[in-house]
Structure 1
C-alpha cells in the first residue's frame, strides 16, 4: 500500500455519539463532507484539502489555519503539514515577504487572487496566523517538524523581522494598510466594506503569532529570543486593551481608519477575532467583549465557524453549543463551505470534549457539555501518535481509554473548584487552575497505558 493510500485508509476513523440526536447526525454529515474535500496525493500539490470556495479547488491561508484542528482530528494532520510547508517555502522578498495567499491543486497561486508579485490578494494577519497554527499543530500532533524544520523556522524569522518591517511603515510595531496598496496587504481579515489602516484582528493575530513563537522558541531552548517576543506580545496586548477600548460603547474598537479615527460600531472579524486569538486578559473588558459578540454574532458562515471556538475557550458552554447546533442545521445557508465541516469537528473535539495536548505525553480533557447534553463520547481520536476514546457524563464524570500508543499522562480536569476527585472510585487530591475566562477548574494526573480504561468523577461512586 502506498504512503498516500495508507493515510486515506486511516482518515475519518473518528466516531461520536451523544444524548443529542441532531448533534450526532450533524457529526456524521460533517465528517462525510470534510472527507469529500480531502485529496490524497493525486494532484501536483500533494496531500491537501479544500479550504476556499469549493469551485476553486484550492486552499487559502486563513481557512487552512482554522481548519487545522478539525483536520488533525480527522486524521489529516499530514495534509495540513504539507499545505503549511507550501506556504512557508513561498515567502519571498519580491512580495514584501508575503507568501501566496491561496494555492491550488496544481501547486500554483490561485489565479483569482494572484496576477503577479506586484498585484495579488493578501491579508496581513496571515503570516502570524501560520505561526499560531503551527504551535497548535505541534501541541496536538507532537510532530517535531514544527520545532525543527529549517524552511518553517526561516518563515518564522522572516515574518517576525523582514515582513513586519516591510508592512509597518510608521514603525509603531503594528502592520498597516494604505489605499495605494490595492488588494495587496489588507490589515484585517474583514473583507467587507472599507479597508482600514488596521483592524483589531491585525493586532490580535500579531499577539498570537508572537506568543506561539515564544512557546516554540522556548521548547528549542532559545530563552533570550523567547523573552524578546514575549515582551513584544505583552506590549501589544497592553496597547490593545488600553488604546482600543471604547468605554462609551463597552466594546473594543474594531478598526482604525485611514484618518486614524476608530470604527465605533461592531466590526465583525475586527471585533470577534481578538477573542479567538486570546488578545484580551482584562476580566471586565473580556466579559463585555464576549457579551458584545453574543448580541451581534456574525452574519456570514465563515465568521460563524469561529464562534464555538471563542465561546468554548472562555467557558461559555451554552452559547458554544447553540452555535454548534446552528452549524449542523441542514437549513444553514452555505453549509457546504469547507470551513463549516472542518471547524465543527475541531470544535467538538477541542471545545465540547475539551481535549488538548502538550506536544509530548500529556493529554488534558475538560468537559464542556451544555445543560441539555447529558453525555457525549468521542472515539478513535488521533492525538500525539496515540488513539484514545473519551466519554463525558454531564460535566461530572469522564472515562478515557488508550486504544493504541505509548503510555501518557491524562490530565483529567473538571469545571469545579474541588479538593478531591475520584479515580476509579478512590479519592485523589486535586490541583487547581484558572482558565482564560476566569473559571476555576481542578484536575488530577493519571498515568494511562495501552488498553487501559480509567474513570474520574467529581463525586464518589455508589
Structure 2
C-alpha cells in the first residue's frame, strides 16, 4: 500500500507489513493476499481480528500507526491493550477508498509489560478492512514528563491458563489456573512499575481461594491497592513428562485446537480465497475449523483425522453435530457421496460444490466417516451413534449401495473413483499425482475399516446377523488385498492403485501408500515392516517428502500401531519442530496454524505414545506404553472415557499406572506390555500373563478391575515374586 512508516529497527511489531503472511499474528476472520509487490491483511465483516502480543522494552510514550483502507463507516477498530484485559488506547478506522495512515499517539507503556496490538471488525455489515505497515514505535517526540507510576505491570503463576487479565483503570488483576491446581499455595511472579515495590512480595506463597489485595508503592511514596482474583479452568486433559518437548507441544496444542471451535458464534459462510461465492453472515452450529484458514468450512477428510483429538478436548457435541451434517448430505442423487466440505452453519460449502453431478468427492472420506463414528462410540459410549436415523442410513448406504454404484470399471467389490479428478470423484486423497487411478490404496484400506466398523456398530445395536455378515466381508476383503489386489505382480511392497484398464502402480504414492498399513489392511510381517521403512525414507527424501505439514500428521498414526515407537516419535518431533515455520500456503500462517496439527498432536499423545484403546460402552480400556527412549515417563490426567475421568502414567515400557478418578462404575483395564512375560505384577501381586500378537508385536497382558477412586500399578515380570527388567524375552 505504501512504503514503510518510520525506522524499522524501532518497531516492536514483528512481520509488521505482513510480507510473511500471518506469521507472529493471532487471527480469526483475517486473510492476507498479494497486491502487486505488497502483502495486505484483510479483515472480514463482523468480529474478525488480528492481534500480536509484544513485550515493552522501555518505559515511555509510544505511538501505534498503520495504513487502512475500509469500504464502510466505522467498521473497524484498532488499538493496544493488556492481553485479555482492558484497552490502553484505541480508535476507530474511518471509511476511505484509498490507503490512509491512522496513528494513536501518547500511549504510556511500562517496561516489562505484555501488551497486545489489535485490529478488529466491529460492524457485521461492513464490507472489508485492509491493513498494511503496522508500527508500534517509541514516541521520541513526546517530551511530556512521565507520571509517577505504581502499577502491577505483569502477573504470572505456575499452571496458568493464558495471560493474566490486567485492568489498569480498575486496579485489578484476574488470572486462571488449570483444573486441579491447589489455589491455596500459589507463588506469583509479579513485575511492577520501575522503582516501585509490591506487598506481598513477588514469589510469596498466597491463598487465592478469595481475592488477595496487593499494595504497590511508587518510588516517591505513592501507593495503589490492587485486587487479584484467581479462577479455576474447567476440567480438561493435562500432561506431565520427563520430556519437555512433548509437554510443551501438548500444552500448546490444547488452547490452539480450542481456538478453532465455532460453536455458538456468528460469522460468514461460503467465505473462500476466491471472493466469488457471496458470503453471508449466519449463526454457527456446534463445529470446529477443519481445513484451510482462508476457507470458512470444515472438511470431511480433516474432520475425520481431528475427531479423536476433539473428543479428548471435550468437543463431543461438535463431533456428533459435524458427522451428522455430513451424513445428511449423502443421498441417492449424490450416489451416496457426502459433501466434501460444509459451512459452519451446516450448509454445503459452495467452493467445492457446483451441482449434484459436479462436486469434490474422494472415496476414502466416505468410509472414514463410518470408521470414525465407531471410534467416537468407543470413546464416548454415546448411543446416539447407534440410534440416530440419519447416521445409520449413512453407515448402511456407505458399505452397500455406495460400493455397488461405484464398482463398474474393475468389478471386484472395491469402490472406485472416476480417474478424472476431484470434481468427478477421486479414488485417492492424493490430489497431486495426476494419475488416472480408479482404485487406490487409501480407498481400499478405508473401505476395509468401514466394513469392520459397520459390523461392530451392528453388533452394538443388537443385529448379530449383520455383525457376522460384515465381519466376514471384512475378513475376506483383507484376504483379497493381501493375496491379490495389493501384491499382484510384485515381490515386495504393495500395489497402491489401478487404472480402469488394469495398469497397476506400486511405486511410493503418499496417502495411497501409507494409508494401507495405517488402516491395517496389510498383513503384519516382514513385507509390511519393509514397506514402513520405505514410507519413512520417502517422507524424508527431497522430491518425495510431503511439503504440506497436514500430510505428515498421518505418519505417527502409521508407525505406532506396529510398535515402531521411535519412528512414531520421530515424526511427532518433526511436526513439533516445524510448528512456527511458514505453511506451504503462506496465507495459512505457520504450520501450527493448520488445525489438523494441534488436534492430532493431542490424539497421537494419547492413542500413540500412551497406546490407549477405549471401549466406553463396556467400561473397558487397554493401554500399552509406546514411549521412545527420549521419554522416560509420561502421565496424562483427566482423560475422558465415557463418563469416566481417567489418569494414566507410563514409566518406560515396563510400568503403567491407571487411576479411575470418577465415573458410575469400575473400569476393566487390559494392562499390556510389549514382549513375552510370565506374570503381570498388579499392585505387587502376581497375575499370570496372557499373550497375543497384535500387528506383529508380541504382547503380554492381564485384565485388572479398577474401582472408582482407586489406582492400580502394573509391572510385567518373569518372576512370581517381583519384577526383573532384565529377565524379559522377545522384546
* TM-score of the superposed pair, with normalisation by structure 2: 0.60
**Other-structure match for 2:682:** 423
Aligned partners of 1:395, 1:187: CA distance in 2, in Å?
40
Per the alignment, do residues 440 and 10 of structure 1 end up closer, same or farther by CA in structure 2, a change over 3 Å counting? farther
**Other-structure match for 2:261:** 38
**Other-structure match for 1:4:** none
**Other-structure match for 2:464:** 223
Within the alignment, does 1:341 sit opposite 2:341 as a pair?
Answer: no
Please give the secondary structure, in 2, of the residue aligned with 1:49: coil
Within the alignment, does 1:178 sit opposite 2:418 as a pair?
Answer: yes
The one of 576, 587, 611 equivalent to 1:328 is 576
Aligned partners of 2:295, 2:421: CA distance in 1, in Å?
25
> How many pairs are equivalent?
453
**Other-structure match for 1:234:** 475
> Alpha-carbon deviation of 1:193?
2.4
> Alpha-carbon deviation of 1:226?
2.2
Aligned partners of 1:362, 1:336: CA distance in 2, in Å?
35
The one of 241, 252, 260 equivalent to 1:18 is 241
Matches within 5 A, 1:2-17: 13-17=236-240
Please say if residues 418 and 442 of structure 1, whose CA atoms lie closer than 8 Å, have aligned partners that are also in contact. Answer: yes
**Other-structure match for 1:62:** 301
Please give the secondary structure, in 2, of the residue aligned with 1:450: coil
Per the alignment, do residues 103 and 219 of structure 1 end up closer, same or farther by CA in structure 2, a change over 3 Å counting? same
Within the alignment, does 1:384 sit opposite 2:607 as a pair?
Answer: no
Q: Which has the larger radius of gyration?
A: 2
> Alpha-carbon deviation of 1:282?
4.9
Please say if residues 187 and 196 of structure 1, whose CA atoms lie closer than 8 Å, have aligned partners that are also in contact. Answer: yes
Please give the secondary structure, in 1, of the residue aligned with 2:314: coil
Please say if residues 361 and 422 of structure 2, whose CA atoms lie closer than 8 Å, have aligned partners that are also in contact. Answer: no
**Other-structure match for 2:448:** 207
> Alpha-carbon deviation of 1:398?
1.1
Aligned partners of 1:10, 1:417: CA distance in 2, in Å?
43
Structure 2, unpaired ranges of 5+: 1-231, 267-282, 540-544, 584-590, 725-731
Please say if residues 419 and 426 of structure 2, whose CA atoms lie closer than 8 Å, have aligned partners that are also in contact. Answer: no
Per the alignment, do residues 452 and 12 of structure 1 end up closer, same or farther by CA in structure 2, a change over 3 Å counting? closer
> Alpha-carbon deviation of 1:236?
2.5
Within the alignment, does 1:450 sit opposite 2:708 as a pair?
Answer: yes
Aligned partners of 1:306, 1:461: CA distance in 2, in Å?
36
More helix by share: 1
Please say if residues 442 and 513 of structure 2, whose CA atoms lie closer than 8 Å, have aligned partners that are also in contact. Answer: yes
Matches within 5 A, 1:120-131: 120-131=359-370
Per the alignment, do residues 288 and 447 of structure 1 end up closer, same or farther by CA in structure 2, a change over 3 Å counting? same
Within the alignment, does 1:167 sit opposite 2:406 as a pair?
Answer: yes
Aligned partners of 1:181, 1:71: CA distance in 2, in Å?
31
Aligned partners of 1:181, 1:325: CA distance in 2, in Å?
34
Structure 1, unpaired ranges of 5+: 1-8
- Root-mean-square deviation over aligned CA pairs: 2.0
What whole-Å deviation, never above 9, does each CA across 1:181-219 have from its counterpart, x for those lacking one?
Answer: 761311111111224122111111111111111111122
Aligned partners of 1:457, 1:249: CA distance in 2, in Å?
41
**Other-structure match for 1:314:** 562
Please give the secondary structure, in 2, of the residue aligned with 1:441: strand
Aligned partners of 2:429, 2:416: CA distance in 1, in Å?
13
Aligned partners of 1:180, 1:21: CA distance in 2, in Å?
47
Greater RCO, 1 or 2 (C-alpha within 8 Å, sep 6+):
1
**Other-structure match for 1:361:** 619
Please say if residues 89 and 151 of structure 1, whose CA atoms lie closer than 8 Å, have aligned partners that are also in contact. Answer: yes
Aligned partners of 1:10, 1:209: CA distance in 2, in Å?
38
Within the alignment, does 1:268 sit opposite 2:491 as a pair?
Answer: no
Please say if residues 67 and 339 of structure 1, whose CA atoms lie closer than 8 Å, have aligned partners that are also in contact. Answer: yes
> Alpha-carbon deviation of 1:249?
6.5
> Alpha-carbon deviation of 1:453?
1.6
More strand by share: 2
**Other-structure match for 1:148:** 387
The one of 121, 135, 140 equivalent to 2:374 is 135
Please give the secondary structure, in 2, of the residue aligned with 1:57: coil
Please say if residues 217 and 223 of structure 1, whose CA atoms lie closer than 8 Å, have aligned partners that are also in contact. Answer: yes
Within the alignment, does 1:283 sit opposite 2:531 as a pair?
Answer: no
Please give the secondary structure, in 1, of the residue aligned with 2:593: coil
Per the alignment, do residues 12 and 342 of structure 1 end up closer, same or farther by CA in structure 2, a change over 3 Å counting? farther
**Other-structure match for 2:329:** 90
Within the alignment, does 1:410 sit opposite 2:669 as a pair?
Answer: yes
Per the alignment, do residues 453 and 339 of structure 1 end up closer, same or farther by CA in structure 2, a change over 3 Å counting? same
What whole-Å deviation, never above 9, does each CA across 1:147-200 have from its counterpart, x for those lacking one?
Answer: 222221111122222222222224321122235676131111111122412211
* TM-score of the superposed pair, with normalisation by structure 1: 0.93
Please give the secondary structure, in 1, of the residue aligned with 2:376: helix
Please say if residues 11 and 74 of structure 1, whose CA atoms lie closer than 8 Å, have aligned partners that are also in contact. Answer: no
> Alpha-carbon deviation of 1:78?
1.7
**Other-structure match for 2:607:** 350
**Other-structure match for 1:191:** 431
Aligned partners of 2:635, 2:621: CA distance in 1, in Å?
16
Which segment is superposed worse, 402-411 or 279-288?
A: 279-288
Please give the secondary structure, in 2, of the residue aligned with 1:122: coil
What whole-Å deviation, never above 9, does each CA across 1:91-110 have from its counterpart, x for those lacking one?
Answer: 11121111211101132111
**Other-structure match for 1:3:** none
Please give the secondary structure, in 2, of the residue aligned with 1:354: coil
What whole-Å deviation, never above 9, does each CA across 1:268-300 have from its counterpart, x for those lacking one?
Answer: 111110111111125232222212212212513
Please say if residues 12 and 74 of structure 1, whose CA atoms lie closer than 8 Å, have aligned partners that are also in contact. Answer: no
